Amino acid sequence: MRFEVLGPVRVTRAADVAPVAGTVRVGLLALLLARANTPVPAEALLEELWDTSDPADLQRLQLTVHRLRRALGDPYRLEHDGGGYVLRVGPGELDAQQFDDAVARAEGTDDPDVRVDLLRSALGLWRGSPFQGLDLGPLAAEAGRLTERRDTALEQLYAAELECGRHARVVADLAEAVRRHPLRERLHALLMTALYRSGRQADALAAYRSARRTLVDELGLEPGPELREVERRILEGEDDAPPPRAPTVVGGGEYRPPAQLPHDPCGFVGREDELAVLDGLARATTGGAQVVAVTGTAGVGKTALVTHWAHRARERFPDGQLHLDMHGFSPHDPVDPADALGVLLRSMGERADDVPADLGARAARFRSLTDGRRVLVVLDNAQDADHVRPLLPGSPTCVTVVSSRDALAGLTAGEGAQRLEVGRMTRRDARALLGARLGGDLPARGDAGRRVDDLVERCARLPLALRVAAERLRDAGPDDVAHLVAALGVERDRLDLLDTGDSHTSVRSVLSWSYRQLAPEPALLFRRSGFHCAHARHYLDPFCASALLGTTDLQRTRRLIDDLVRCRLLDEAERGRYEMHDLLRIYAAELAAEHEDPAAGPRRLFDYYVAAAVRAAACLGRPETPLRTDLPPDTLTPPLDDPDAGLRWLDAERSTLVCAAEQALLLGHPAHAVDLSTTLGRYLDAQGHRDEARRLHTVARRAARELGDRAAEAVVTRALGVLELRLGHPAESEALLARARELRGAPGGRGDAPA
């Protein structure tokens, strides 16, 4: 998630802009962001938002906090802490912190080129004035601090540009900056210097006279020492430009920088946020060589992103750009680090006969050859941290970008690497990618627009799948989107339709490279995780996973989940709750059908849902009939004995439980559908969840009929009758209640229907 305050306050998630609407809600968000990760007293929030300190108004604040939590999509972001509220913001998530960090790194380096890159990246984060449109007292001081920091950064940027010798190039920008900030003497001095070094001595002196008039007229002050010193140097003709840089040589001869980047991906679109983060992460040059770990699931476009960024940034690395495909996830064997170092050393000008045989010696030699040079090293498709650790330069002038499906936690923990997690594309970028591949804009509205959106989701917003789909449409014509969407809607055919016959671009093949890296136990969990309910918010947690595995060892299950997360075969959607996108899930289900009984995992999962639902709903009373399901006595469930914990669990899992009942009936387990209905009936009625109640009781009624269980059918029919009464449909209600009474009086079934 990304929080932005350097302009209108807003929040962006991985997939889209998060809708935080309403002046009060945005004001609350801004006040909390101004003091991110620090508790803000509730009294202070009340006073600023509603000009009151009356504790009776606390409920108004609590409601606003609740709505903001819902808009953020993560309840753990915004917590109550010791009489106040604190908004948790991680490293790199707040644009103001990114700005401050980049400026601080710029101030800490002696290299003017690096300073220019860092400062331009920092200033590029601004979209207007801080906290734009919000008139709240505590924000004014922070806005003033940020604005002053921005103006100073602008001065530092132009000073660094002049150090790089770009005098003529920045004259126009400096003139505009002086027009917007006429009282900042530093900008006037920089403009005079740029004009003078560009051979425009008369214009430089005219700029001094203009600056003096402005200062005298506006402030009644003469220019300060810096401006007067610049004027003196110009009048006396002193040359203060830095000397040109000496060419780099190696071994007594001129060094030919390697330029090994693959071609820039054709039609690259989107990823503006990721490119900006790469710019920022790759520019710090203090405290050691910069290492950036770009991680993400198979087919998400890591290689394309890194390659495109490397082409954009290549001028920052005049001493060379090195590139190696490490084949960590591919049909080929991974490249041995010693062999990789041999390639890198020869690329840096080392003669083959002089390359050491030992891995450690090769690594040391590579660090020596790159020392003091501005070299970019791209190590694509790494297997893990150990695969690339010997290949890292040691000089702070170098930047290494490593891409991998692995989380590369060893690099972040051991080498201080900065990690960039690449998620699936936003819907907007996915549409743009399809349009770029098909050579035109795609319809955005109406039935045609909805079909394009359906195609994007069928491809899981995965760039690889989108490109394959675009190629199919290129052959069939863009008007055939509806047919392709319909074909992709049949899950058993989807991966076949996204097959190109090439192991490097077929979606099933590319996914398989991740699966093959797994040990037997996480591989088993991956296969069984292919089962899911039909709604979009189906999550896996350690208890669900334990049920799928048939184990009560929760710690072991958590370790297996961590293995899948590290290989990017699961994503943590919320704290402790995980998901996999549709293409991974379909692939996992295919593997389950090949390797084991595909019905075993779902049966254990339905057992878990019934057991957990009974425990969670216990505070509302026992199920209305005895359970029809013979639950294993060791079924593991969360600790749901506290009523609040039980209700929270039911709220979180409500949609999943309804879908589980539907799937249970579909897969031949009707008793589970009945038990979920009779267990959850009071909860759904008391909490007013009418739509879910209708779905659940309707499927349970069919299940009871399939079982020939009149007692159960009576209970769920009566529940449907009560629901119709709640909805204001008395005729329908009376018919259902009458049918329930008939069923209660009829023989047959398991257990007695209550009166």
pTM above 0.85, yes or no: no
Domain with residue 82: its CATH number is 1.10.10.10
Query: Is 281 domain-assigned?
Result: yes
Confidence grade of residue 64 (pLDDT, cut at 50, 70, 90)? confident
Spatial distance between the Cα atoms of 164 and 112, rounded to a whole number of angstroms: 6
- Residue 273 sits in the same domain as residue 352: yes
Q: Taking phi first (over 0 means left), then psi (-120 to 50 degrees means alpha), and beta for anything else, what does residue 203 get?
A: alpha
DSSP states of 232-256: HHHHHT---PPPPPPPPEETTEE--
pLDDT for res 675:
92
Q: Output the CA–CA distances (angstroms, integers) from residue 184 to 128, 210, 219, 737, in the order listed.
A: 20, 13, 12, 81
726 shares a domain with 632:
yes
Q: Are 690 and 723 in contact (CB under 8 A)?
A: yes
Instruction: List pLDDT tens digits, range 150-177.
Output: 999 999 999 988 888 888 888 888 999 8
**Can you tell me the mean pLDDT for 483-507?**
81
pLDDT of residue 672: 93
CATH of the domain at 591: 1.10.10
pLDDT of 476 over the 70 cut:
no
Residues present in the chain in total: 755
Q: For residue 716, is it within any domain?
A: yes
Domain boundary among 465, 483, 508: 508
Total structural domains in the chain?
Answer: 5
- CATH number, domain at 660? 1.25.40
Task: Please state the rounded mean pLDDT for residues 566-590.
Answer: 84
Rounded to an integer, what distance in angstroms lies between the CA atom of residue 350 and that of residue 260?
16
Residue 537 lies in a domain: yes
295 and 405, same domain (yes or no): yes
Provide the 10 A C-beta neighbour count for residue 467.
Answer: 23
In this structure, which long-range contacts are made by residues 703-709, counting pairs with CB atoms below 8 Å and at least 24 apart in sequence? 703/661, 703/664, 703/665, 703/670, 703/671, 703/673, 703/674, 704/670, 704/674, 706/665, 706/670, 707/628, 707/670, 707/671, 707/674, 707/750, 708/748, 708/749, 709/628, 709/674, 709/748, 709/749, 709/750
The verdict on 649 and 733 lying in the same domain is yes
Q: Does the pLDDT at position 645 exceed 70?
A: yes
Clarify whether residues 584 and 623 are in a common domain.
Answer: no
CATH number of the domain to which 288 belongs: 3.40.50.300
Which amino acid is residue 287, in one-letter code? Answer: G
pLDDT tier for residue 20 given thresholds of 50, 70 and 90: low
Q: What average pLDDT is seen over the chain?
A: 83
pLDDT score at 245: 43
Share of the chain above pLDDT 90, in %: 17
Q: How confident is the model at residue 239 (pLDDT cuts 50, 70, 90)?
A: low
Structure tokens at 577: 């709750």
Q: Give the integer Cα–Cα distance in Å for 565 and 531.
A: 17
Q: Identify whether residues 491 and 527 lie together within a single domain.
A: no
- Residue 695's contacts (CB-CB under 8 Å, 6 or more residues apart) are 658, 662
Structure tokens at 119: 């400062």
Residue 630 three-state SS:
coil
In a domain, 346, yes or no: yes
- Please give the pLDDT value at position 673: 93
pLDDT at 130 over 70: yes
Choose the final residue of a domain: 421, 444, 469.
421
CA angle 595, 601, 603 (to 5 degrees): 140
Does 154 map to a domain?
A: no
| 582, 634: one domain | no
Task: Tell me: pLDDT of 531 over 60.
Answer: yes
Torsion sign (Cα): 20, 23, 24, 30: positive
- Alpha-carbon span 585 to 539, nearest angstrom: 12
Say yes or no: 416 and 468 in one domain: no
Residue 32 lies in a domain: yes
Confidence of residue 13 (pLDDT cuts 50, 70, 90): low
Torsion of CA 225, 230, 233, 237, to 10 degrees: -160
**How confident is the model over 668-719, as pLDDT tens digits?**
899 999 999 999 988 898 888 989 999 999 999 999 999 999 988 999 999 9
Model confidence at 624: pLDDT above 60: yes
Check the CA dihedral 483-486-491-492 and report its sign: negative
- 488, 616: one domain: no
Residue 179, pLDDT > 60, answer yes
> What residues are paired with 707 via a beta bridge?
none
Among the candidates 367, 389, 421, a domain finishes at 421
Is 417 found in the same domain as 277? yes
Same domain? 293 vs 410? yes
Q: Based on the domain organization, do 714 and 702 belong to the same domain?
A: yes
Q: Write out the residue range of the structural domain in which residue 500 sits.
A: 427-508
Angle at 244 between CA 238 and CA 247, to 5 degrees: 165
Residue 538 lies in a domain: yes
In a domain, 25, yes or no: yes
